[in-house]
Copies of this chain bind each other. A is one copy, B any other.
Amino acid sequence: MWEAFEHAAHYELDNLTAIIDVNRLGQRGETMVGWNTGVHVERARAFGWSAIEIDGHEPEEIDRAYKEAAEVSGRPTVIVARTIKGKGVKAVEDKDGWHGKALDDPDAAIDELGGIRNISVDVAKPDAAEPHRFETGELELPRYELGEEVATRKAYGEALAALGSARGDVVFEMYIAEQQLLAACVGLQARGWNAFGSSFAAFFSRAYDFIRMAAISRVNLRLTGSHAGVSIGEDGPSQMALEDIAAFRAVHSSTVLHPCDANQTARLVATMAETDGIVFLRTLRPNTPVIYDADEDFPIGGSRVVRSSDDDDVTIVGAGVTVHEALKAAESLEDEGISARVVDAYSIKPIDAQTLQAAAEATGRIGTVEDHWPEGGLGDAVLDALADSDDRPRVLKLAVREMPHSGKPDELLSAYGIDAEHIAAAARQLVGAEVAAS
């Protein structure tokens, strides 16, 4: 909680009151500080909060504390309440071993507490006022020229700024604290805002429990993770997101998007703002060439067949940086008489099963290529889309299979087997295997 305390004090949230219920007992034995409420007070003050100690069983003290808290200016307030776990029921009061357990005799316990079985208390409702709206204008997404070299992370930032101007969204600085970034996004959306959270994709692993709980709470979040995969180059594996697609696919209500060019990114950012659930957009550090016109549309659940013919021998499915490698591979394969279809699966969840099934039927062989670990990413999504179809093609998955070193992006795409050359080799292998098997 201390990162939350730090941020709340930094932003001088004097309309925030926290309560610490200090009941001494954990699930198993005493907590680290037991009933030492002074420890909480001292820590809270060191983090810039006002703190009030009370007996949590005394209504007058509770009332007084709330009144005091409301009067504090420029700082949040924490009420540190000393309480007794199970108070009023002798069988369990202040006793170890009763956490999350049903009572042996619930009727006796209710009698001991005074016998009242239904209490209805009216409390003041939270302020349901509409949040402040900034002035807005027409949405003018950034537009990039075909062939231009632009990093999708840059296109994301420019598209988000455009979206903010058009929709009255707001950007908060959360410093290096991804859990607080998520918490703030959840809070903002609960108050009617359209929250976009941005960090390195790898660092969302820091907030994976917050993302998980946001999904359980049916929150709508738009999260963008940059610096995906080995294509970031020199910064090394700690900064390379290689598990993010797997982690976000396995979040209920999630959408996972991975654009390959700047115009596609800009359009998807606009679409994210309208999409419910946990929407994750994966962007790239290096520049990639613009291959789509600024007016093209990219619906959630769609894909784009960027290269095809009537007699394709094999299909290559990529997303993000690997779309460009797949296109290069298709060109070199053409010289050898192998015709490769290339699918840009920018929507990894939901994935465009129909286009993949059509490609499976037409070509009978599929290679997937992703700048990600082999588990839980694009390749698994493609296999899932074809698992139950009548045409079940041979699928070769190219992915990063060793812990990467630092290096230049092109060197790393090659070293870890996901560049044009490796894609072409996989395509040759697929064509050869089917010939051998037939």
Contacts and interface: CB of A to CB of B under 8 A. Distances in A.
A242 B252 contact: yes
Give the number of copies in the complex.
2
A257 B178 CA distance: 30
A147 interface: no
A251 interface: yes
Interface string A391-404: 01111110000010
Contacts of A31: 175
Interface centre among A10, A27, A206, A253 (most CB of B within 10 A): A206
Interface of A: 2-3, 6, 10, 26-28, 31-32, 39, 42-43, 45-47, 100, 173, 175-176, 202-203, 205-206, 208-209, 212-213, 215-216, 218, 235, 237-238, 242-243, 246-247, 249-253, 349, 373-377, 379-381, 383-384, 387-388, 390, 392-397, 403, 433, 437
A3 B6 contact: no
Contacts of A395: 387-388
A387 B396 contact: yes
16 contacts: A2-B2, A27-B176, A31-B175, A39-B46, A205-B209, A206-B208, A242-B250, A243-B247, A243-B251, A246-B247, A249-B376, A250-B377, A376-B380, A383-B384, A388-B396, A392-B392
A10 B251 CA distance: 35
Contacts of A43: 43, 46-47
Contacts of A403: 215-216, 218, 252-253
Contacts of A394: 387-388, 392
Nearest to A429: B388
A35 B388 CA distance: 61
A379 B373 contact: no
Contact of A26 (B175, B247, B379): B175
Nearest to A7: B32
Given A242-B252, A375-B381, A380-B383, 15 more contacts: A2-B2, A31-B175, A205-B212, A213-B238, A216-B237, A243-B247, A243-B251, A246-B250, A250-B375, A250-B377, A379-B384, A383-B387, A387-B395, A387-B397, A392-B394
